[in-house]
């Protein structure tokens, strides 16, 4: 009998505010240690936190984007624990009354779509960092990150298996960047996930979960969940039981290791922070923020499928990011070509070239205008689709730039398609004369011989003869 893998994800997203959630210090990444820690971040006596309105706006933006309830009143709480990178001795978070509750996110899964329930999203401050390198027998503390605003987004245990968990994480990653609340930089820790994993027999109640902390790449997430589920299944099949605990994933060994069990779990002694008033958000404010939201991925995906007649799969690929979706619409406009042709080029040649060079759409050497101009030259018969790929590669290498790049390269390389019937007839005659055997074979019913003859003519034309005309003229001359 099979096992079902159950996953719930908690994601910490760093909000793209310029200053911290309760102080005016900068949140820029990579500064010298402790140059961006104000008196508030250092927890000096007598200081008071002042809530950053932008962080609240970003939280509401996410809430609206996932169709959640925005709490009219939410409360900041103190989560008490001791750690060197936490000067106050508590983290300001939200506990019983988070700002966002009960949203959903749709993800693509095998054979369709799945709706993942998001239980809550709450605002909190990040802690500082302990530095262990460069210090012999000591640790350094960098409080630049202390007080950076985080939105922690928590799902219900709705995900089934590592692939679905990754699909959700990717969808959320795309969404937070789409709505401009997080830069999504996983290497710098702007988007980090904890995965709660349990296993059960289908239909059985939920099993005991283990929580894997701080997964900062999609690949590690997939490997960690797969490893952890296998570990739990083997444990149970050997007659053991899973104990609830926090585990760490070690990518070098591809395994998870116990960090602390539930028994050692801290009692955080949560209580409402007396330094902060409850956060009150009224309807007018919510509507103001709603009006500023861009068209969301789901809506754009549906519109692309409907208005451009694209397959759901193409629409999903093109709307993977806002930049990609904008590129597509610019391309359709610039090329005046069939949307399907544009989609094929963007998800084909163009995406492959980006991928090869590790580039984002926004940094492509070929813009939508330039690619559109190239597609126009296919449509008007100046070049074939095959030659267009050669021109595209030259454009990518910046042999020519700007909207006129395609024409310049076609001209410079003499790639213009031969559509002159007389010229093609002459080449066909020469090929037929030189290939009597294949002509005979064709007349004896061997269809393959025809393709070979087409190939010979195209070769003689250096690939530039109009393929439709070559076919028609050959057929005519062969009496077919
Ligand atoms: P905690 O505060 O200890 O992290 P929560 O109740 O907030 O606990 O749950 C955290 C996450 O664990 C949520 O994403 C939830 O969906 C997930 N979760 C809860 N139970 C299970 C389970 N049995 N298997 C997998 N995930 C679970
Ligand atoms: Mg947790």
SS3 10: strand
Residues 96 and 271: beta-carbon distance below 8 Å:
no
Beta bridge partners of 13: 151, 191
Q: Is 226 in the pocket of ligand 1 (CB under 6 A)?
A: no
Atom of ligand 1 nearest to the CA of 157: 16
For ligand 1, atom 22, the nearest C-alpha belongs to 209
pLDDT in tens, 142-162: 999 999 999 999 999 999 999
d(CA 332, CA 74): 45
Q: Is 204 in the pocket of ligand 1 (CB under 6 A)?
A: no
Q: Is 310 in the pocket of ligand 1 (CB under 6 A)?
A: no
d(CA 211, CA 230): 15
Residue 260 has pLDDT above 70, yes or no: yes
**Can you give the pLDDT at residue 111?**
79
pLDDT confidence band for 420 (50 / 70 / 90): confident
**Can you give the pLDDT at residue 372?**
96
Residue 182 has pLDDT above 90, yes or no: yes
**Can you give the pLDDT at residue 180?**
96
For ligand 1, atom 3, the nearest C-alpha belongs to 211
Q: Which residues have C-beta within 8 Å of that of residue 376, sequence separation ≥ 6? A: 335, 336, 337
pLDDT confidence band for 1 (50 / 70 / 90): low
Mutate to test the pocket of ligand 1, among 207, 209, 264 (most ligand atoms within 8 A of CB): 209
pTM beyond 0.75: the answer is yes
CA 112 from chain centre, in angstroms, equals 18
Whose tokens are 């997203």? That residue is 13
pLDDT in tens, 430-465: 999 999 998 999 988 888 899 999 999 988 888 888
Q: Which residues have C-beta within 8 Å of that of residue 168, sequence separation ≥ 6? A: 9, 105, 107, 116, 155, 159
pLDDT in tens, 294-335: 999 989 999 999 999 999 889 989 998 999 999 999 999 999
Q: Would you list the domain boundaries of the chain?
A: 4-288, 295-413, 421-477
Separation of 210 CA from ligand 1 center, angstroms? Answer: 9
Separation of 154 CA from ligand 2 center, angstroms? Answer: 9
Q: In angstroms, how far is the first alpha carbon of the chain from the final one?
A: 62
SS3 76: strand
SS3 18: coil
Separation of 216 CA from ligand 1 center, angstroms? Answer: 19
Residues 227 and 192: beta-carbon distance below 8 Å:
no
Residues 59 and 168: beta-carbon distance below 8 Å:
no
Atom of ligand 1 nearest to the CA of 155: 14
Atom of ligand 1 nearest to the CA of 197: 25
d(CA 214, CA 10): 10
Which ligand ends up closest to the CA of 210?
A: 1
Atom of ligand 1 nearest to the CA of 207: 23
d(CA 36, CA 19): 10
Separation of 9 CA from ligand 1 center, angstroms? Answer: 8
pLDDT confidence band for 237 (50 / 70 / 90): very high
Share of the chain above pLDDT 90, in %: 81
Residues 94, 97, 100, 104: is their CA dihedral positive or negative? positive
Residue 195: what are its φ and ψ, rounded to 5°?
A: -110, 125
pLDDT in tens, 368-386: 999 999 999 998 888 888 8
Q: 122: how many CB neighbours lie within 10 A of its CB?
A: 24
421-477, CATH topology level: Arc Repressor Mutant, subunit A (1.10.10)
Residue 263 has pLDDT above 80, yes or no: no
Q: Is 265 in the pocket of ligand 1 (CB under 6 A)?
A: no
**Can you give the pLDDT at residue 480?**
53
Residue 246 has pLDDT above 90, yes or no: yes
Atom of ligand 1 nearest to the CA of 154: 14
For ligand 1, atom 17, the nearest C-alpha belongs to 8
Q: Is 152 in the pocket of ligand 1 (CB under 6 A)?
A: no
Which ligand ends up closest to the CA of 212?
A: 2
Residues 116 and 107: beta-carbon distance below 8 Å:
yes
For ligand 1, atom 14, the nearest C-alpha belongs to 8
pLDDT in tens, 15-55: 999 999 999 999 998 899 999 999 999 999 999 999 999 99
Separation of 157 CA from ligand 2 center, angstroms? Answer: 12
d(CA 136, CA 434): 82
């Amino acid at each position: 009998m099979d096992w079902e893998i159950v996953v719930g994800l908690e994601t910490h997203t760093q909000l793209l505010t310029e200053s911290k959630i309760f102080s005016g210090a900068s949140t820029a990444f990579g500064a010298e240690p402790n140059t961006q820690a104000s008196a508030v971040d250092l927890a000096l006596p007598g200081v008071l936190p002042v809530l950053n309105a932008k962080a609240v706006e970003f939280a509401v933006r996410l809430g609206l984007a996932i169709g959640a309830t925005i709490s009219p009143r939410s409360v900041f709480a103190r989560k008490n624990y001791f750690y060197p990178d936490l000067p106050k001795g508590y983290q300001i978070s939200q506990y019983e009354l988070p700002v966002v509750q009960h949203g959903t996110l749709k993800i693509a899964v095998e054979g369709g779509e799945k709706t993942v329930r998001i239980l809550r999203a709450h605002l909190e401050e990040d802690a500082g960092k302990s530095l262990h390198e460069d210090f012999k027998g000591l640790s350094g503390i960098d409080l630049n990150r202390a007080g950076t605003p985080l939105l922690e987004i928590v799902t219900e245990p709705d995900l089934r298996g590592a692939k679905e968990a990754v699909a959700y994480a990717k969808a959320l990653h795309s969404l937070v960047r789409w709505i401009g609340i997080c830069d999504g930089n996983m290497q710098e820790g702007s988007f980090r996930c904890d995965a709660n994993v349990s296993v059960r027999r289908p239909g059985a109640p939920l099993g005991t979960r283990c929580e894997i902390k701080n997964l900062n790449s999609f690949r590690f997430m997939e490997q960690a969940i797969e490893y952890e589920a296998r570990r739990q299944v083997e444990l149970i099949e050997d007659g053991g039981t899973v104990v609830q605990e926090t585990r760490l994933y070690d990518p070098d060994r591809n395994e998870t290791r116990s960090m602390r069990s539930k028994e050692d779990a801290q009692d955080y002694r949560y209580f409402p922070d007396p330094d902060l008033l409850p956060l009150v958000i009224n309807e007018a404010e919510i509507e103001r923020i709603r009006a500023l939201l861009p068209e969301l991925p789901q809506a754009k995906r549906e519109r692309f499928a409907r208005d451009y007649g694209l397959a759901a799969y193409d629409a999903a690929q093109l709307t993977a990011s806002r930049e990609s979706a904008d590129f597509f619409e610019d391309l359709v406009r610039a090329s005046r070509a069939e949307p399907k042709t544009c989609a094929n080029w963007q998800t084909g040649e163009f995406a492959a070239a980006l991928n090869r060079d590790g580039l984002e759409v926004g940094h492509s050497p070929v813009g939508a205008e330039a690619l559109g101009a190239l597609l126009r030259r296919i449509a008007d018969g100046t070049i074939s689709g095959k030659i267009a790929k050669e021109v595209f590669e030259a454009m990518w290498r910046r042999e020519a730039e700007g909207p006129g790049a395609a024409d310049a390269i076609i001209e410079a390389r003499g790639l213009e398609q031969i559509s002159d019937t007389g010229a093609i007839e002459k080449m066909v005659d020469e090929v037929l004369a030189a290939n009597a055997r294949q002509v005979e074979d064709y007349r004896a019913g061997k269809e393959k011989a025809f393709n070979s003859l087409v190939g010979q003519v195209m070769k003689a034309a250096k690939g530039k003869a109009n393929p439709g005309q070559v076919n028609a003229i050959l057929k005519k001359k062969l009496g077919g």
